Amino acid sequence: MATENSNVSKAEEFKLLANKAFGARKYAQAIELYTKAIELNSQNAVYLANRAFAHLRREEYGSAIQDATEAIEVDPKYSKGYYRRGTAHLAMGKFKEALKDFQQVKKLCPNDPDATKKLKECEKAVMKLKFEEAIAVPESLRHSVAESIDFHTIDVEPQYSGARIEGDVVTLDFVKKMMDDFKNQKFLHKRYAFQIVLQTRDILRALPSLVDINVPNGKHFTVCGDVHGQYYDLVNIFELNGLPSEDNPYLFNGDFVDRGSFSLEVILTLFALKCMSPSALYLARGNHESKNMNKIYGFEGEVRSKLNETFVELFAEVFCCLPLAHVINEKVFVVHGGLFSVDGVKLSDIRAIDRFCEPPEEGLMCELLWSDPQPLPGRGPSKRGVGLSFGADVTKRFLQENNLDLVVRSHEVKDEGYEIDHDGKLITVFSAPNYCDQMGNKGAFIRFEAPDLKPNIITFSAVAHPNVKPMAYANNFLQLFS
């Protein structure tokens, strides 16, 4: 009995420390401390729901659902269990499952105005989804929106004073003027935006799903991770490391858009640089270059607000043309998410993926975009609820079987902007510092020098940006939960 009481009070101490860490936005530390509390007292639904909340903050929606479900099993009348699980379902775009959870919250807290409000938003989202499903055109009958656009017929008003493309060639002068306009929160004319996106589509469509990059001896190559609509931090990367050029090439490793509220400026800048010099800038698809994510996390709303509906469809189409992975000098494998649920995947299997579609929920393409490394060997369920977690042994085997030296991936916020795992064989690089204006993390990029391709990691801090909050264009219901 004494031991039991001592465990309960020790667990409570860990919970208080965890709450403190959570308040300081140290979510990984909070998760560790809540875990200690749960190990001492597994029958406390509050600890589980609190840990679910910390997982939500780290975008680990699969783990949040698991914890919230356990909290509900411990105490079926604990409304926060349903609330946390509903929030995680919403963040994953699983509106119907979220609706069931918020109906339960409302049942348990009938007079809570907050629960009522969230239930209403959830009902709206489900109604919208049903409507979209009802009017959706089958894949086989869909026409390419890109092929219906002729940007040459769009007039540019005489009073337009922004950047202009003369003829068909995107020049460095144009890119610099456009970037300056963006810094001053001016928009690019629709004609030129169409021209950039359509030219990028043509370039990307001609590429394989796995792109080989050759860096000559004595030359360098820079890899950046997620930028997530943080335009002013993107400009800072170029100030620190130079603009992309034949002699200063870059690879941006997915998740260019969403969350940050300057996603359009980011994507048009990257696409314009790609048009200016295709071998100066390489682009890989991330899990956020997809319709489902863009609908929820802000890019769709931003494009609609700054341009129009046609651009929403056009970007969705062009994102399906982005390559899925890159290999530098036959030695460094670069991918947004990670590795696979099966052994024996060869580079030729990745090359053979038909990528011209929305990302599926399982299989090689899904895993390339969504998976994460784990400290334990073997494979485990994904903390995100999509893809999987893979250990050092999986990384080592993949590298050996494909005669590679290193995996570079992005996809996860890291305090220092990067993290080296799996006995030095895997590096995570993340290039959105102070992510969402609240994580306090640094950003990083990696410079490789040929021939030895030793990674030189450069970190940097966030810079000021105009007072437009992250997620400003995100779906209503998501703003309620952020």
What residues are labeled active site?
Answer: 288
Residue 162 three-state SS: coil
Q: Which amino acid is at 70?
A: E
**DSSP annotation string for 41-100:** -TT-HHHHHHHHHHHHHTT-HHHHHHHHHHHHHH-TT-HHHHHHHHHHHHHTT-HHHHHH
Query: In Å, what is the CA distance from 99 to each residue of 65, 95, 105?
Result: 14, 6, 10
Whether residue 460 contacts residue 431, with contact meaning beta carbons closer than 8 Å, is answered with no
CA distance 15 to 18: 5
Eight-class DSSP state of 320: T
Taking the CA atoms of residue 267, residue 287, residue 430 and residue 324 in that order, the dihedral angle to the nearest 10 degrees is -80
CA distance 401 to 343: 9
The alpha carbon of residue 60 and the mean position of all alpha carbons in its chain are separated, in whole angstroms, by: 12
